Amino acid sequence: MFLVIWKAIKGYAFIEITGFSVERFINLAINKGVYIWNIQHKRNSVIMNVSLPALELLDTCAAKTRCEIKIINEYGLPTLFRRYCKRKILLFGVILFCGIIYLLSSFIWEIEVNGNEKLVTSEILEFLKNEDTGIGSFTFRLKGKDIEASLLNRFKNISWVSTEIKGTKLIINMVETVDKPEEKDTTIPCNIIAAEDGVIYSIVVSAGHPLVKKKDVVLKDDLLVNGELVVKEDEESTLYKYVHAEGKIIAKTMDQFEIYESKAIIKKIYTHEHKKEYRLSVMGHTLPYLRVKPKFEKYDQLIYNKKLEIGKDIILPFELIMIQYNEYSTKTINRSEEEVKKILQYRVKRKIEEDYIKKDKEVIHQDITYMKENQGIKAKVDLVVLKSIGESQNINVEERRNDLIESTDGENNKPAN
């Protein structure tokens, strides 16, 4: 195998030797170190293969032994090269082709962003584009460190970023910072009020004065924990202290939602008729290639994209797009009540999971009532939910003080009047 490749690279000739002492010729040639193979006898001549660089040596051998050499054919890379060098336009084309491939492969055609969970990839790409380092920029001009620095400058929640240029692909790996927990300013005095109606289930207060207790019924905007504390009270004056009320108040609340599901559904039935359309896209601009307008009334489109690339890393700015149109016909199907109820149950379960359980709310009771409506069934769900209902409300200390002073003044003034 390797011998064949070596022969092809070095080049070899197929020669015919005529003369009286061919044996002597062969001996002489071999003594001079010529590599000969496939010697065949033909009537008055001998045919053999020799390597191309040895042909000159063979000439002297032939002169000594009075043999004649006739070259029948030449093979291998040097011959091929010599033959095609004469064809100037072909040579030009080959060089042009290589040049274009080289030119196209020295641009960035794809950017891969890894590790972004909160940042949106398109935002990063947009930023890179504005910085002249986006898709279509020259590979040699790109400097990984500059990109990294600009990304770190622009996006504050990137803690580490590395760039890598692989062929025509720019790979950005990053690690995002963990979000800082929201710091509550505990110096601002506030009260806790109820965000919803409910019955208090549990109340734990770490700062402030609780105004409700377990099993109390509260309405929306009721004061639950007071941030205004009485420190000292005597006949003349009352001293107040304002704190940041804190606590966890869980209440039983009622919730309700409705889901409607119609009995009839439209089902697609594929007719197995399909048509294909091919398009070529150059740098994002699509060229219509073979237009096949489907004569189907209703159809689905399946789009396959294939990027043209050399190897794994060099991606060219061409994209082959294949669009397949699948025809279908629609059919309405009427489902039975049982089926619809099952589907409704499933949807209710999903909704509870998403809206309540994932948000740290506990459903302690649920009641589903089904009602026929139009062509379907409506499920009405009543829930009893345990959830935190506390909501902080800032106290305007100045105003409060003024109020207090006014009220005390009023009291003091009353007997005077």
Partner 1 sequence: MDQKRIKKKQEQDTSIKNKLTNLFELPKDVVLNLPLITIVGNKEIQIENYKGIVEYSEEMIKVKTTVGVIKVNGKKLFVKLITSENIQITGFIKSFEYMT
- Shortest CB 23 distance to partner 1, Å: 5
Cβ distance to partner 1 smaller for residue 46 or 192: 46
Cβ neighbours of 38 (radius 10 Å): 10
Cα 217 from Cα 198, distance rounded (Å): 6
Cβ distance to partner 1 smaller for residue 46 or 195: 46
**DSSP code per residue over 127-140:** HHHHTT-STT-BTT
- Shortest CB 40 distance to partner 1, Å: 6
Structure tokens at 123: 């935002």
Cβ distance to partner 1 smaller for residue 75 or 127: 75
Place of tokens 């032939």: 62
User: CB neighbours of 64 closer than 8 A, spacing ≥ 6?
Assistant: 28
Interacting residue with partner 1 among 18, 36, 134, 176 (CB under 8 A): 36
Interacting residue with partner 1 among 37, 160, 257, 304 (CB under 8 A): 37
Q: Find out whether 67 and 27 touch, Cβ atoms under 8 Å.
A: no
Place of tokens 């032994």: 65
Structure tokens at 206: 């770490």
- String marking each residue 43-62 x if it binds partner 1 according to CB under 8 A: ---x-x--------------
Q: Find out whether 57 and 63 touch, Cβ atoms under 8 Å.
A: no
Quick check: 35 binds partner 1 (CB under 8 A)?
yes
Quick check: 311 binds partner 1 (CB under 8 A)?
no
Q: Find out whether 299 and 325 touch, Cβ atoms under 8 Å.
A: yes
For residue 171, give the nearest of 180, 184, 161 by alpha carbon: 161
Phi-psi region of 116 (alpha: psi -120 to 50; beta: other; left: phi over 0): beta
- Shortest CB 19 distance to partner 1, Å: 12
Quote the strand ranges of 167-263, DSSP E. Answer: 169-176, 190-194, 198-207, 209-210, 217-218, 223-226, 228-233, 238-242, 246-262
- String marking each residue 210-249 x if it binds partner 1 according to CB under 8 A: ----------------------------------------
Q: Which stretch binds partner 1 (CB under 8 A): 32-40, 78-86, 165-173, 232-240?
A: 32-40
Cα 203 from Cα 251, distance rounded (Å): 9
- Shortest CB 49 distance to partner 1, Å: 10
- Shortest CB 36 distance to partner 1, Å: 5
- Shortest CB 80 distance to partner 1, Å: 24
Cβ neighbours of 329 (radius 10 Å): 12
Interacting residue with partner 1 among 6, 9, 40, 138 (CB under 8 A): 40
- String marking each residue 70-109 x if it binds partner 1 according to CB under 8 A: ----------------------------------------
- String marking each residue 12-31 x if it binds partner 1 according to CB under 8 A: ----------xx--xx--xx
Q: Which amino acid is at 109?
A: W
- Shortest CB 64 distance to partner 1, Å: 15
- Shortest CB 4 distance to partner 1, Å: 13
Place of tokens 């064809």: 87
Cβ distance to partner 1 smaller for residue 41 or 306: 41
- Shortest CB 69 distance to partner 1, Å: 16
- Shortest CB 56 distance to partner 1, Å: 18
Query: What are the strands of the beta sheet with 223-226, ordered from one edge?
Result: 209-210, 223-226, 190-194, 390-394
Cβ distance to partner 1 smaller for residue 39 or 308: 39
Quick check: 8 binds partner 1 (CB under 8 A)?
no
Q: Find out whether 247 and 255 touch, Cβ atoms under 8 Å.
A: no
User: CB neighbours of 398 closer than 8 A, spacing ≥ 6?
Assistant: none
- Paired with 381 in beta bridges are 257, 368
Cβ distance to partner 1 smaller for residue 37 or 289: 37
Residues that bind partner 1 (CB under 8 A): 22-23, 26-27, 30-31, 33, 35-41, 46, 48
